[in-house]
Amino acid sequence: KAHMARGLPKQKPITGVKEVIVVASGKGGVGKSTTAGNLSFCKSVGLLDADVYGPSVPKLMNLKGNPELTENNLMRPLMNFGIPCMSMGFLIEDTVPIVWRGLMVMSAIEKLLRQVDWGFLDYLVIDMPPGTGDIQLSIIQNVPIAGAVIVSTPQDIALVDARRGAEMFRKVKVPVLGLVQNMSVFQCPQCHHQTHIFGSDGAKELAHTLGVEVLGDIPLHLNIRETSDTGQPVVVSSPNSPEAKAYRRVASAV
Ligand code: ADP
């Protein structure tokens, strides 16, 4: 386990970045990228999409194209809404399947972590790949991380993996800042009846078990899905909506 501890010789800060916050999840599809994207506005930060197999940031932030190179041969992040972003999606075509062996994934991650000119940032939010494998560990081992935000839906199948995620960060001594419970409640736009499609309090109970905070509760809402798909994250496109407020509450708790 010693090689998993913090302060490894390999671990060095990202140039120009003061603090790194990672947004992680045990499973895919629970709203990790959407949370990372919306958080990045609330905190005026940079956004690094480390989900090399399923990059979401190009769509979420309505960005595409190849990054320019600086004179030092570093990649310049693409910008939208004032947020500098970097993603594997800027480096390969959408239609190209990513069938990479471990080593290729590691070198892609290394490139995303080390060969980007972020300028000066107080925070960099990293949208992590889902799960608790080699890629996640190598990111954690390469960069000092101020804290991890874990996103989960309230259903058991997601929570089991969210717990694994939290335990992984703990093991490597990255502070778990808390859990975000996503898609907990759906309110019918017609009759306003509320339904807890995935359960109501699962993430809250897990947070209690782990002794970490619940950073917020994001409803399952058409506005969140639509604004994410059109590259206009809800905190920018509907800043006064209850959904945007829910993300802002998370950001202020981080
Ligand atoms: P992950 O990063 O965990 O794989 P995403 O953030 O990409 O998940 O979200 C998966 C899908 O669910 C996306 O289409 C996204 O727009 C949608 N989504 C995420 N959170 C919500 C929510 N609270 N309400 C409605 N749709 C959501």
CA nearest ligand 1 atom 5, residue: 31
Task: Using most ligand atoms within 8 A of CB, pick from 25, 27, 34 the residue to mutate for ligand 1.
Answer: 34
pLDDT the model gives residue 224 = 95
pLDDT the model gives residue 136 = 92
pLDDT the model gives residue 226 = 95
pTM for this structure? 0.92
Report DSSP letters for 140-200, one per residue: HHHS--SEEEEEE-SSHHHHHHHHHHHHHHHHTT--EEEEEEEEEEEE-TTT--EE-TT-S
CA nearest ligand 1 atom 23, residue: 220
pLDDT the model gives residue 24 = 96
pLDDT the model gives residue 158 = 85
Q: How far is CA 31 from CA 24, 105, 173, in A?
A: 10, 23, 24
Residues in a beta bridge with 6: none
Write down the domain spans for the chain: 2-253
Ligand 1 atom nearest to CA at 30:
3
Contacting residues for 248 by C-beta, under 8 A, at least 6 apart: 42, 235
Tell me the CA–centroid distance for residue 228 and ligand 1, in Å. Answer: 8
Tell me the CA–centroid distance for residue 66 and ligand 1, in Å. Answer: 25
pLDDT the model gives residue 233 = 94
Residuewise pLDDT in 10s, the chain (254 residues): 334 444 555 789 999 999 999 999 998 999 999 999 999 986 668 999 999 888 999 999 999 999 999 999 999 999 999 999 999 999 988 777 777 787 888 889 999 999 999 999 999 999 999 988 888 998 998 999 999 999 999 988 888 889 999 999 999 999 999 999 999 999 888 888 899 888 888 888 889 998 999 999 999 999 999 999 999 999 999 999 999 999 999 999 89
User: How many other β-carbons are positioned within 10 Å of the β-carbon of residue 223?
Assistant: 16
Ligand 1 atom nearest to CA at 28:
4
Tell me the CA–centroid distance for residue 2 and ligand 1, in Å. Answer: 36
Contacting residues for 134 by C-beta, under 8 A, at least 6 apart: 102, 105, 106
Give the right CATH number for 2-253 from 3.30.70.100, 3.40.50.300, 3.40.50.2300, 3.30.499.10. Answer: 3.40.50.300
Tell me the CA–centroid distance for residue 222 and ligand 1, in Å. Answer: 10
pLDDT the model gives residue 43 = 64
pLDDT the model gives residue 9 = 56
Ligand 1 site residues, Cβ closer than 6 angstroms: 25, 28-34, 56, 182-183, 218, 220-221, 224-225, 228-229
